[in-house]
Amino acid sequence: MSSPLIAGLRAQLGGPRDGALLRFSLGSALLGEGQAAEAADALQQAVNFDPAYSAAWKLLGKARLALDDRAGAADAWRQGIEAAQRHGDKQAEKEMAVFLRRLSKED
């Protein structure tokens, strides 16, 4: 069942406000509701709109990890680290580096 927030965000898809922020917001809401597959799709679309959106890469990694797609999570975080480095987003870069280290220790 979809929350009113998710329904409202979905209603805006394809409209004039559609873009990375809308897709990120939808992905975040979906992930919060435990809908990891749909969240990963929305977050992938967010980074397709804006490949420099490091927060979207970070959340995409979390969504993929929730789907037990460890390779996909690592790939998202690596790309997110590159995006963060290009734009000076040190905090996101550090967080994703920690996620990658934890993932590699679990292997």
- Domains of the chain and CATH, by start: 4-106 (1.25.40.10)
CA distance 9 to 75: 27
Output the pTM of the full model. Answer: 0.94
Per-residue pLDDT at 67 exceeds 70: yes
Q: What is the pLDDT of residue 77?
A: 98
Per-residue pLDDT at 106 exceeds 90: no
Instruction: Please write the tens of the pLDDT for every residue from 36-50.
Output: 999 999 999 999 999
CA distance 14 to 96: 30
Average pLDDT over residues 17-28: 97
